[in-house]
Structure 1
Amino acid sequence: MIAKTTIDQVFETARVEEVIGDFVQLKKSGSNYKGLSPFSDERTPSFMVSPVKQIWKDFSSGKGGNVVAFLMEHEHFTYPEAIKYLAKKYNIEIEETEQTNEDKEKANERESLYLVNEFANTYFQKTLHKTDPGKAIGLSYFKERGFTEETIKKFNLGYSLDEWEAFTNEAIKKGYKLEYLERTGLTIVKEEKRFDRFKGRVMFPIQSMSGRVLGFGGRILTNDKKAAKYLNSPESDIYHKSKVLYGIYHAKQSIAKEDNCYLVEGYTDVIQLHQSGIKNVVSSSGTALTPEQIRLINRLTKNITVLFDGDAAGLRASLRGIDLILEQGMNVKVCTFPEGDDPDSFAKNNTLEEITLYLSEHAQDFIQFKASLLFEVSKNDPIKKAETVRDIVNSISKIPDRIKKEIYIQECARIMDISEEVLFSTLAQINKKQFQDTNKQYQQEQKAFEVIKHKQPVKKVDIQYELERKIIQILLLYGNEKEEFEDLILKENDHNELVLEPVKHEAKVFEKIYLDLQDDEMQFSNENFRELYYTIIDTLNQNPDFAIESFVNTVTPEMANEITTILMEDERYVLSNWERKNIFPKEKQHTVSQLVSETILSLRCYLIEQKVTEFKQETLDTKNQVNKNILEEVKDYSSLKMLLSRKLNRVL
């Protein structure tokens, strides 16, 4: 158990914009921040973070909450894990009791896989630094690569003994189940036999954005031609190769700060560049680049620089990945190293200044790079040149931005010495074919899944729900503020007519709302709002220093999500940037008293209307027998509604 004082300290210290900023590139938007949703694939920001309220809202998925809720949603942390992560980030001391075998039994399956990987990570590091084979073989290899002691520890590099069951036996001895060792791929089980997958390899732990160990990469150090040089963990419930980038945990802040990401091929490329001072670098870990990996980078920056070695054959094979980057609407540059060099060796043999200068001078726009590379191969062959032009235009067709497309066509025409008209014509043909293919696929899917479409009834607006929701919003935003209110007292004038006389007084917003609802004996019809209403009123009564950012941390996750949705609803319109269209929404805080009065009056009008409807129905139920009392009630309620509507400046 984590002490409440520690949890309180974590909430007081952690800043939602700083924590989320480690995972999503946030841009200032008024008093808030906005960014691309980390929970869905989108190109227009629908994710908002409020530093003032210390909450976030993702309008594309409907998720929202405080800083802990984000970590639980994004990283699949349990509540204690999220607290521990924040404590570590902000250097807050936290008491942790070591897990007993019984605790490990209770851990859910997914969590058990993480626990096994964490144990393996610690075990491989200990083997590297504390055993004779680890020092003589593993540590020597890393030192030969030029890695410092600090770098080796930072990237948690390790070594797996060249023994069949060394790791597996130790893990089982410590209470970890063979089932989870097999499911993470650390142990291979065949019939009655079991053995270590990474036997005799140096180990590279693969971490998530938050630093959790998802899997491992292992490099063999012997000259065994039958064994793969590099071996990765197999796919599991927590490790999906296509969704992970090696080094993202160490690179994320630098990527966002530099607004650029260097993409390389191998583990050692990442480590060597990082050690040299180029920290905004990640690797696809030897797998073909995937859209999921690109979207991971897209959350942090729009700019990718792909670093290749001088191998021409490898270059042409890697060009396919660039088209995927373009499809995601990102800006791509390409940099190649001199023949015989790769990012690892170049970083090892040059200073930070030399590396930085080389990257800035040799990074080419992808279209220039692709055109010049393919042009060299095809310049003396007209047919090959035509194929090259089509290949380049095909890449340009992937770009969503029309302005960028046109600029690249012009650039390609200049490099390839061909008219822009021909290239635009080719682009139009490619776009037409892509459209036809997409349309054809859509029609096939429609035929395959053809269903009878029922006309959906138009959903009616629930007026009472919206007004109750507005009351909760007012209480959360302005509940503790003192305002001058104008109450309307119902009186008879000299002509025996009912009139509303205004009386001004000062009160706190929550007191005004509470008393008005009490006077009218109004109850919330929505159960969630009813619970929230009494919780907020009770909190405001007991705590004069009420603050949303602390209140949201004291309620259940379900209620916290409801609060976030209510509070951030208006921020949805900020994403539309109305000011650019010369539309300036009125700020609520300038007319809080008016907002309170209008909301309460609107609710009264609605309830009166409901009452009148009930009376009408009662009259119909008495089979057209006119009830004088009911008619009097209807008349009185209608007069009251007329007065209230006049106050609201509504025409009836």
Structure 2
Amino acid sequence: MIDQATIDRIMDAAQIVDVVSEFVTLRKRGVNYIGLCPFHNEKTPSFSVSPSKGVCKCFSCGKGGNVVHFIMEHEQLSYYEALKWLAKKYNIEIKERELTDEEKQAHSLRESLFVVNQFASEYFQNILYNNIDGQRIGMTYLRGRGFRDDIIKKFQLGYSTDNHDALARAALQKGYKEEFLVKTGLCYRKEDGTLRDRFWGRVIFPVHTISGKVVAFGGRVLSAATKNVQMKYVNSPESEIYHKSRELYGIYFAKQAIVRQDRCFLVEGYTDVISMHQSGIENVVASSGTALTSEQIRLIHRFTNNITVLYDGDGAGIKASIRGIDMLLEEGMNVKVCLLPDGDDPDSFARKHNATDYQAYINDHEVDFIRFKTDLLMEEAGKDPIKRASLISSIVKSISVIPDAIVRSVYIRECSQLLQMEEKVLIEATAKLIEQAREAKFKEQQRKKEREQRLTATPQASVPESSPEAQTNETPAADSTSETGNAPFPSEPAPFPTEPYTSYIPSEGNEQKVFYAKEEDLVRMLIRYGEKVMCYVENETGEQIPFTVTECIASGLKEDELQFYDPLHRLVLQECEAHLNDPNFNPERYFIAHPDPAVSKLAVDLVSDRYQLSKYHSKGQKIVSDEERLYELVPRLLLDFKLSIVEEEMKHTIQALANPEIANDPQRCLEIMKRYKELQETQSVMAQHAGDRVVLKL
């Protein structure tokens, strides 16, 4: 475990803009930064980073948190693993105790697979540099391809000997489990149950995630011992950590260059990427021979809107891959295509030219994708009217997927001239395809909704959530463990009221109710200003003592025997009370850095500028902030909440009386009516404080 002092050092050192910038292209907007959200597909930036608060948040999908929770979500790490990631980045030494056997077993399968892959990567590199066959076969091949030693080391290339189980034996000797060797795809089981290396006799190309973790391998056959092997390249199979549709070879080494150049080159293979890096062009990634996927496109789109696809002179290859480029247009990217000279691919061309010449050739020969596709298909169609009609349909389809109406209009006008067709015809054809796409999307959404409804319609053994059956606010209605698997919510509520009351408000589905919004307002005040002195009150001896926001809210709820509806909100109030007397306690910093991501996310949501409660001009036209009028604002918000939740409680308490099971139980009916009467009296008193007249009838 990591001690709190070290955690504080990490949190102080980690700059959220610096960390997020490794994964997202950020642009300054006012005092904050914005970019495309890395957690969902979007074309308009809605991901905001606040350097002053040290938080980030997507105002579209809602994900966010502090710097630790960003790394947890993005890299799928645990809380302590994310801290280690940041400590390594900022060169902070971590001293921790030895993990127990139980804690070791608690490590996720994903992390175990990454550990095994890292071991394999180091093993393959060691063979390449220190084994006779590695030097004689592997290194000879790589240098024969023109790769310099620094480039070989940079991309962590390696070699696996002709021995069919050398890696398996080495891994087992080091204590790695057979299960993980098989699940990563490094080995597979033969019919007799023995392990066999997947990559024997091959030069190894590790595939890295965007953060640099080894997620998979590619192996190219080399020696004579493998001459009967049919496949030149073998790649890791899909696993819990590797999905080839989501990975791009070279993205880890290219991301910073892509941001600097605001441009990405897309090639096909491993050696294409490596050779271009060696020539000085680093903003390049490869789809590794697979058809381009939407996940890969979004990965590129995080860093730039501009992409240039490099093709060799293989016409068949161009036509096969050209279909996938429509997906780039659909994502709103600016797509260009560059044909290399006949007989050259990105790898061979890079070995013949330096970066300046390579860039100059691309700049001189790259063309817009729509024009490139039109010229390519026009040449094939010739004067055949049927082929020309098919060509026009294909081009119109490409134009129709472009999300920006202005860009579509420009393309239609240009294609009208190239194809010698009336612009009106192309506009109508494009509009028809767009409408068809919308209908198809709507139908798919309807089907998805129906599937979800069928799943949720399964009868439950427990009382339905919408039932007016009573629930007790003593324990949370949901499972006591947060969805992230970290610190669970307390099984007991905040220390008030002394005797928990029975609530008939349904356990879920109340987020749109008035009382819930009022409750959030109070929690927002706790997180922002919980430790602030709201006013001074006189004690029994006549002494003026400070009265904080936390004390005002806690005592106000206890006074009327009420409590927050949401267990997470109750937890916030409970922890505010527990730490209120701690020196230098800052609720905002405390909750944003909370180890439970659910708490941290709540804090980020509630301190975001978009949720500013109020700023108004006083008579002197001076802007008055919330903090300057806490003595007025907090009591008003507290009263609004108490009125709204009492009203909601009364409504559902009356509904409970309509339940046949309760109606037939005189004792329970009497208890509920008594509770309703108490709520009625409480509401009457609160209404008087609010200056309202409320006439109530049972």
TM-score (norm 1): 0.82
Deviation at 1:169, TM superposition (A): 1.0
Question: CA distance change for structure 1 residues 385 and 608 in 2, over 3 Å: closer, same or farther?
Answer: closer
Does the 8 Å contact 1:101/1:175 carry over to 2? no
Structure 2 letter corresponding to 1:557: P
Q: Give how far 1:244 is off.
A: 0.8
Determine whether 1:564 maps to 2:615. Answer: no
SS in 1 for 2:48: strand
Alignment of 1:514-533 (within 5 A): 523-533=563-573
Of 237, 240, 248, the residue aligned with 1:237 is 240
Map of 2:85 onto structure 1: 85
Identify the match of residue 641 of structure 1 among 687, 693, 696: 687
How far 1:557 sits from its partner (Å)?
A: 3.3
CA distance in 2, matches of 1:4, 1:639: 46
Deviations 1:391-428 (A, max 9, x none): 21111112122221111111112223332123223324
Report how far residue 364 of structure 1 moved.
Answer: 1.6
Mapped to 1, the partners of 2:239 and 2:41 lie a distance apart of: 23
Cα shift readout 1:441-460 (whole Å, capped 9, x = no counterpart): 78888999997999x99966
What SS does structure 1 have at the residue aligned with 2:343?
coil
Question: One-letter code of the match for 2:76?
Answer: H
Aligned twin of 1:196? 197
User: Which residue in the other structure is 2:333 paired with?
Assistant: 330
State the alpha-carbon separation in 2 of the partners of residues 198 and 639 from structure 1: 78
Q: Is 204-213 or 224-233 further displaced after alignment?
A: 224-233
* Contact in 2 for aligned 1:40/1:61 (Cα 8 Å): yes
Tell me if 1:291 matches 2:300: no
Give yes or no for the alignment of 1:133 onto 2:133: yes
1:511 shift after superposition: 5.4
**Residue 315 of structure 1, CA deviation:** 1.7
Q: Which residue of 1 aligns with 2:633?
A: 595
Q: Report what 1:415 is aligned to.
A: 418
Listed as ranges, the matches of 1:330-369 within 5 Å are 330-369=333-372
**CA drift at 1:437:** 5.8
Within 1, Cα distance between the matches of 2:60 and 2:233?
Answer: 39
Contact 1:484 1:506 in 2 (8 A): yes
1:301-325 alpha-carbon deviations (Å, 9 max, x no partner): 2222212123222222221111111
Instruction: For residue 62 of structure 1, report the CA deviation from its aligned partner.
Output: 4.5
Q: Do structure 1's residue 471 and structure 2's residue 517 form an aligned pair?
A: no
Mean Cα displacement is larger for which, 261-270 or 520-529?
520-529
- Supply the AA of the counterpart residue of 2:597: P
Q: Note closer, same or farther for the CA distance 1:363–1:176 as it changes in structure 2 (3 Å cut).
A: same
Percentage of matched positions with identical amino acids? 43
Q: Distance in 2 between matches of 1:114 and 1:133?
A: 27
Structure 1 437/393 Cα, relative in aligned 2: closer, same or farther at 3 Å? same
What corresponds to 1:401 in structure 2?
404
Letter in 1 for 2:567: E
Distance in 1 separating the partners of 2:129 and 2:603:
50
- Displacement of 1:225: 5.9
User: What is the rounded CA distance, in whole Å, between the counterparts of 1:3 and 1:444 in structure 2?
Assistant: 50
Opposite residue 73 of structure 2, the aligned amino acid is E
Look up the match of 1:273. Answer: 276
1:295 CA displacement: 1.7
* 2:223 is the counterpart of 1:218: no
Contact 1:247 1:270 survives alignment (8 Å): yes
SS in 1 for 2:176: coil
The DSSP-based 3-state class of the residue aligned with 2:335 is: strand
Q: CA separation in 1, counterparts of 2:534 and 2:436? A: 64
Among 258, 262, 265, the alignment partner of 2:261 is 258
Deviation of the 1:243 alpha carbon:
1.0
Take 2:653 and 2:94, find their aligned partners in 1: how far apart are those partners?
63
CA gap of 1:547–1:439, structure 2 versus 1, over 3 A, is: closer
Alpha-carbon separation, structure 2, partners of 1:64 and 1:355: 41
Query: Would the aligned equivalents of 2:258 and 2:264 in 1 still touch at CA under 8 Å?
Result: yes
Change in 2 beyond 3 A, CA 1:191/1:99: farther
Change (3 A) 1:614 1:641: farther
Partner of 2:386: 383
8 Å Cα contact 1:605-1:645 kept in structure 2: no
- C-alpha separation between the residues in 2 aligned to 1:30 and 1:66? 20
Q: How many Å apart are 1:240 and its aligned residue?
A: 0.8
Distance 1:602 1:278 in 2: 62
Matched, 1:208 2:209: yes
- Report SS of the residue matched to 1:188: strand
Contact map agreement 2:529 2:587 (CA 8 A) in 1? no
2:319 alignment partner, one of 298, 308, 316: 316
**How much has 1:465 moved relative to structure 2?**
3.6
| Structure 1 contact 161–200 (Cα < 8 Å) conserved | yes
1:124–1:512: structure 2 CA closer, same or farther, 3 Å change rule?
Answer: same
When residues 136 and 80 of structure 1 are mapped into structure 2, their CA distance, relative to the original with a 3 A threshold, is farther
User: Residues of 1 paired with 2:679 and 2:235: CA distance?
Assistant: 79
Higher mean alpha-carbon deviation, 355-364 vs 40-49, is at 40-49
1: CA distance, partners of 2:131 / 2:94: 31
For 1:314 and 1:514, how far apart are their aligned partners in 2? 69
Q: Look up the match of 1:500.
A: none
Aligned residue type for 2:317: G
User: Counterparts of 1:389-468 in structure 2 under 5 Å?
Assistant: 389-431=392-434, 434=437, 461-468=512-519
Distance 2:61 2:273 in 1: 33
Distance in 1, Cα, partners of 2:52 & 2:138: 50
CA distance in 2, matches of 1:448, 1:474: 40
Shift in alpha-carbon separation, 1:646–1:337, aligned structure 2, 3 A? same
Q: Given residue 80 of structure 1, which amino acid in structure 2 is its aligned partner?
A: Y
Tell me by how many angstroms 1:482 deviates.
Answer: 5.4
| Cα shift at 1:215 | 0.8
Task: For residue 24 of structure 1, report the CA deviation from its aligned partner.
Answer: 2.7
Gaps of 5+ in 2: 458-464, 467-505, 539-543, 614-622, 656-665, 670-675, 694-698
Partner of 2:574: 534
Question: Closer, same or farther in 2 for the Cα pair 1:632/1:101, shift >3 Å?
Answer: closer
Contact 1:157–1:202 (8 Å) recurs in 2: yes
For residue 284 of structure 1, report the CA deviation from its aligned partner. Answer: 0.7
